[in-house]
Structure 1
Amino acid sequence: MTPEHNSALLDLTHSASIEELWDLHCRRMADFGFNRLLYGFTRFRTATSLGDPNDFIILSNIDSDYVEHFVHNGLYQSAPMVRWAVDNDGAASWTVLQMMLQSGTVTNDELRILDFNAKHGITAGFSISFRSLSDRAKGAIALIAEPGLSQTDVDAMWDRWGELIQLMNNIVHLKILTLPYTPPNQALTKRQREALEWVGSGKTMQDIATIMGLTPATVEKHLRLAREALNVDTTAQAVLKAALQNQMFVSDA
């Protein structure tokens, strides 16, 4: 690695917010010819689903209409490289897609996804699937080559810089897991967060009311609104979800 690459890695670790981190990473990947990225992470994977898309961490610099259609309209469920990422760890060239087409093993749903991507100029790239110690968690990123680059061009570039690119993406993924991320409409107010923090610390309702200078009924109101914001049924679920999103015990500074 060059001194510039060492500096780039250090900059990634120093990022103080997901927005700062993502902007920096997009610019770094563009230097390698990947001018469009799509990152996804879930902590709510089951045997049959990746969970509710509203709970995903989704980061992308692709056109928002594409992301909305691909993620929230469910196209990702049939995407070949998403399926690969769910079942594998590491990096994979999109030559996998070419091999599938040549072998005739592509399903109609997969063909629909490939046609959809081609219409958006998404034809060459690499996918990285991140290793997780939890069966419930899975993260991956699609690195999409800029227009004009073929998969052969991308593979040649990867032969030279692939290990560094994978290292950068691994660092970004691990960094994301430490930073607060609030899905749309799931942000907690300061009072809601404080009440959940005291529940997570093992305090009783009366304890929390005394500490916060409120009545137990008002504390329960904050907890109810927190459950509604996080779209969960119980306060225990709210504490877990807020903690997983790094919304709790975070300095306002």
Structure 2
Amino acid sequence: MTPVLRRYLIELTQAESIELLWALHCERMATYGFDRLIYGFTRFRTASSLGDPNDFVILSNHDPAYTDAFISEGHYHHAPLVKWALENDGACSWAILADMMSSGTLTPAEQKVVEFNIASGVTAGYTVSFRSVSKRAKGAIALTARRGTPQSEVEAVWSEHGDDIVLMNNIVHLKILSLPYTPPNQALTKRQREALEWVGDGKTMQDIAQIMGLTQATIEKHLRLARDALNVETTAQAVLKAAFQNQMFVLEA
């Protein structure tokens, strides 16, 4: 391991926010020619769905117009490399797309996504799919090469640095899982978070009211608002989801 890579990995592991972590990683990946990244993670995958997009962890430095279309308009549902990532672990060269196109194995919906990517300058790169111990969780990152870069140049970079790039992305993925991430409109207030924390500790409504110095009715209100913010039906689901997002038991700055 080179001293430069070692220093970078230390910076990654010491990052205190996803924003700082992502900025460091985008800068580092650009040194290998990957100037546009999109990372996605879900803990709510089922046999037929990736779950609610509002629950995804999505990080990207692509033009917002690209990510808005890819996510909000549902292109990811039919993206060939998203499908590959869901079924595999490890790294995949985008050369596979040329093989799929030439062999005619793409569905019309997949072909439409490929054409959208070509029009957006997303033509060469690699996808890294992260291993998970949970059947409901899956994460992956797409590393897009600079516009105009042929896949052959990407392969040359990967041949020399691929193992290091996979290592760095694996560490970034694991670090993201340890940091607070709040999807839009799902942030909890301090009181809502505190009430959920005591529920998670097994306290009753009466116990929580006494501990927080509030009435049981007020505690129930905080929990109801927490359920609404997290878009869940039960308090148990709220505790689980807040824990997944690292919104509970957070050290105050």
| Structure 2 length-normalised TM | 0.99
Within the alignment, does 1:6 sit opposite 2:9 as a pair? no
Within the alignment, does 1:85 sit opposite 2:85 as a pair? yes
Cα distance between partner residues in 1 of 2:111 and 2:243 = 39
After the TM superposition, which residues 93-132 of structure 1 pair with which residues of structure 2 at under 5 Å, given as runs? 93-132=93-132
Q: Secondary structure at the match of 2:178?
A: coil
Cα distance between partner residues in 1 of 2:240 and 2:79 = 30
Structure 2 unaligned residues grouped into runs of 5+: none
Give the CA deviation at 1:166: 0.3
Cα distance between partner residues in 2 of 1:92 and 1:230 = 34
The one-letter code matched in structure 2 to 1:179 is L
Q: Secondary structure at the match of 2:132?
A: coil
Stretches of 4+ aligned residues off by more than 3 angstroms: none
2:185 equivalent in structure 1: 185
2:43 equivalent in structure 1: 43
Cα distance between partner residues in 1 of 2:224 and 2:27 = 41
2:146 equivalent in structure 1: 146
Q: Which moved more, 1:79-88 or 1:100-109?
A: 100-109
| Structure 1 length-normalised TM | 0.99
Q: Secondary structure at the match of 1:91?
A: strand
Structure 1 unaligned residues grouped into runs of 5+: none
Within the alignment, does 1:65 sit opposite 2:65 as a pair? yes
Count residues in correspondence. Answer: 253
The one-letter code matched in structure 1 to 2:176 is I
Cα distance between partner residues in 2 of 1:68 and 1:52 = 15
Spell out, residue by residue over 1:46-93, the C-alpha distance to the aligned partner (whole angstroms, 9 max, x if none). Answer: 000010000000000001121111112211000000000000000000
Cα distance between partner residues in 2 of 1:61 and 1:19 = 11
After the TM superposition, which residues 157-196 of structure 1 pair with which residues of structure 2 at under 5 Å, given as runs? 157-196=157-196
Instruction: Tell me the percent identity.
Output: 67
Cα distance between partner residues in 2 of 1:16 and 1:37 = 21
Spell out, residue by residue over 1:88-114, the C-alpha distance to the aligned partner (whole angstroms, 9 max, x if none). Answer: 000000011010011111111011001
Q: Secondary structure at the match of 1:41?
A: strand
Give the CA deviation at 1:148: 2.4
Q: Secondary structure at the match of 1:106?
A: coil
Cα distance between partner residues in 1 of 2:181 and 2:245 = 6
Q: Secondary structure at the match of 1:147?
A: coil
